[in-house]
Amino acid sequence: MHGYQVTFFTQQNRRYKGKMLADWLVGLAKDMHLRGATLVSGVEGFGHTGKLHSSHFFELADQPMEVSLVLSEEECSQLFERLQEEDFGLFYVKIPVEFGTLGKQSGANTTC
């Protein structure tokens, strides 16, 4: 299949509707019955302002977080329409990808 890999970037201390924003995004993906979402905690990074975000033993609140999804074109459109209804700003990267499942359990025959 063809679609998109979408990765959202945020920090652990960003909250939305009483939850960590990254957790809220994963929950939204689940509620929308999307294929899946992966939440990754980063060690260190910086954003467009140049401010360093990192995880330290005493202060994890500013830890960088990424939420990645692989979506069909239709799923991607539905997700972005849904996110436009919310009241927050969020940086993302959207990359065209080919995706599928390999192995006997997948039921798919994929060849290159």
Q: Alpha-carbon distance 54 to 61, whole Å? A: 9
pTM of the model: 0.79
- Kindly state the average pLDDT of the residues 47-59: 61
Distances (CA, A) of 18 to 13, 23, 51, 101: 11, 10, 25, 35
Question: Does pLDDT of 94 surpass 60?
Answer: yes
Q: Alpha-carbon distance 53 to 73, whole Å? A: 32
Can you give the pLDDT at residue 64? Answer: 85
Query: What mean pLDDT value characterizes the chain?
Result: 85
Domains of the chain: 2-100 (3.30.70.120)
